[in-house]
Amino acid sequence: MAAQMKYPPELRRRAVEMYRSADPKPVIRQMARDLGVHHEALRNWIRQDEADRGERDDRLTTAEKEELAALRKENAELRRSCEILKAASAFFAQELCATRRRVDREAVGDRLRQVVVAA
């Protein structure tokens, strides 16, 4: 679950617009104090806006961040699925092999149940 934003998106958008439209550029600390926000928050909003507009290449754009988060989530889900399938295949492989001891099959069955419950 994502952390709750301290400042509303509308405030962020307007603060960045205000900074971009000002000529000469205001001192970020003073502008942040006037807006009632932390100066590093304002600085980060401005940097992110510059990255989104292609003016900076040292940060990911918002779209790239969202895509990366989605890919990481999908990767985690695939890893969990893979663990379940590995445990299931080991369990069924032992069931097919009559020479295995019953204790081994129970241990694999327990592992399979742990993986399924954890997912």
Q: What are the pLDDT digits (tens) for 107-117?
A: 777 777 887 77
The model's pTM: 0.64
pLDDT tens by residue, 64-107: 999 999 999 999 999 999 999 999 888 888 777 655 555 566 77
Whole-angstrom Cα distance, residue 12 to residue 97?
Answer: 63
Residue labelled with tokens 């900074």: 19
Q: Tokens representing 90?
A: 């080991």
Nearest CA to 80 out of 115, 113, 111 is that of: 115
Q: Which of 53, 75, 55, 73 is nearest to 63 (CA)?
A: 53
pLDDT, tens digit, for every residue of 19-68? 999 999 999 999 999 999 999 999 999 999 999 999 999 999 999 999 99
Q: Identify which of 76, 80, 93, 85 has the alpha carbon closest to the alpha carbon of residue 112.
A: 85
